[in-house]
Copies of this chain bind each other. A is one copy, B any other.
């Protein structure tokens, strides 16, 4: 076989977008192979140019692959890890894009052979439409991309996944799996439930026929996540129940706080809305937090295939090693609870 092979399993919005970004990078000596349970997804991915080739069986898809990207919902990651464990070539790098990482890392440890490196990933990107037809090579540009290496992942594997993140134009963030699940529960998993609950509550009101014509951009934006793939939304809640319930309980308490202010304390209500507006302005401007330390990886697309061999990074390796060390220190030194426990 000429060059290196990267396999994307799951050709939906995320898998398709990764394929398009890899193809757009014009990497020499690299073949992008795709696989999906749905024949139509494979045909669409080929038509859109998201993959060079589609393989109908997992065996053929995974054979000789240097890197395997699992772009499926969390519970499907588990099934795939079991299925591909014996098919993976020695030294293969496996990564995923699932929204929860604790269970995924435990499954990888349980199912994958020691000769394989697992480096979990989670791009903080998405949009209302789903499927490879909605795929976009720029979907990840400027977005955070959580990188969660298994303890036994080789340095070369971690660097290769960093290279992938770089090609996608995303910003890699090293993070511990359980920490990831708590933090992302706050900003993504619990909000999915809030968004779906807002929609089902209003949609199932007997007055829906009167209400619907009045709806505007606010209702549409806030209920956007109710349109998410139900498998994914279900799997997220099922694989991170502690995180979701923890933040749901806090959200309910926060809604009660606002409720009390509306009933009893309009001055404080105004102060709360004012502070929120100012703080969100600072959040959008990025002025409420230190400048993020960017992980430097090569930006030229053609270095991706070099990356797969792990034979690069000389100056840059120092920065990378410093980041890894900081992450290790942090995960040793601190609990995974994202808050002071006051509402736990």
Contacts and interface: CB of A to CB of B under 8 A. Distances in A.
Given A125-B217, A201-B251, A207 B222 contact: no
A280 interface: yes
A255 B213 CA distance: 25
Given A272-B200, A273-B230, A210 B290 contact: no
Interface string A172-187: 0101000110111011
Band of interface residues on A:
35 or more
Given A241-B262, A289-B212, A338 B205 contact: yes
Nearest to A221: B221
Counted per complex, copies of this chain come to 2
Interface in A57-86: none
Contacts of A233: 273
A144 B221 CA distance: 16
Given A197-B251, A201-B251, A245-B263, A216 B143 contact: yes
Contacts of A266: 234, 237-238
A199 interface: yes
A245 B221 contact: no
Given A222-B194, A259-B249, A200 B234 contact: no
A171 to B, nearest CB: 8
B269 A234 contact: yes
B248 A258 contact: yes
Contact of A218 (B187, B215, B231): B187
Interface of A: 124-127, 143-144, 146, 171, 173, 175, 179-180, 182-184, 186-188, 191-203, 205-231, 233-234, 237-238, 241, 244-245, 247-252, 254-259, 262-263, 266, 269-270, 272-277, 279-281, 283-284, 288-290, 292, 338-340
